[in-house]
Amino acid sequence: MKIDLEAAIKHASETFPIKVTSDLKEIKALSQDRKIKVFRCVVYFGGTKIPFPFSSVLEGCLGIDPGQVNMGFAFGCGREATIYQVKFPSKLGPVERLENTQILTHWILENAPIYCSSACVEYSAHGKTFGQSALAENRAAALLCVMVHSRFQTISVIPPLSIRKEVFGHGKIKAEEVWKKQLAKAPDGASALACALYAKKKYEKEKAVK
């Protein structure tokens, strides 16, 4: 069944309206030694359709969009979400690349703005082949960091199409298109925010079964 993608994206942006309350700013903590650029902003969910996106999870949710050069993190709780857009140095060897991913992920988790109980890490997209080995390594490095933080009650690793379908209602609706006006400079952070919303839904489902 074909959908009007433009209309569907508009509907998703109206369902999850966000406002940037703290503009994207660079954090210098990892920029000197590692040359990792980390930018952070805070967004606020408004509207009435879903007034409290993360309200049923007391401690909040974490979403991660892994990548070789660009990476996104999002912590959501109540009506607010803190978003990180990351840029690694390019053309690194595998050892230094994985070391950077682990150091960054540990640093972000240790300096998290909220306590999280649920996490979702984006898995590889079906059908893509280029660069997937290196991406899988970076994903595994980030995932291991999440796993050693015992705070998380649920951890999911989900393909992007499944995340989009669960959160926005269709697999073709990309987070960076839903929030392109607000998060134009943080596209990976936008994807991470969708992962955080998925983590919230997964947490709710598992809690309901118990």
Can you list the domains of the chain with their CATH numbers? 5-209 (3.30.420.10)
Terminal CA-to-CA distance of the chain, rounded, Å?
35
178 contacts 163 by C-beta, under 8 angstroms: no
**Averaged pLDDT of the chain:** 87
> What's the pLDDT tens digit per position in 66-79?
998 999 999 998 88
Average pLDDT on 28-32 reads 76
Question: Strands, E, within the chain: which ranges?
Answer: 18-27, 37-45, 61-65, 70-77, 80-87, 118-122, 154-158
Q: Residue 95 corresponds to which tokens in the numbers above?
A: 């050892």
CA neighbor of 119 nearest in space, from 147, 155, 78: 155
**131 against 21, higher pLDDT:** 21
Instruction: Note the pLDDT tens digit of each residue in 133-160.
Output: 888 999 999 999 999 886 788 899 999 9
Residue 176 pairs with which residues in a beta bridge? none
Q: What are the residues facing 65 on neighbouring strands?
A: 72
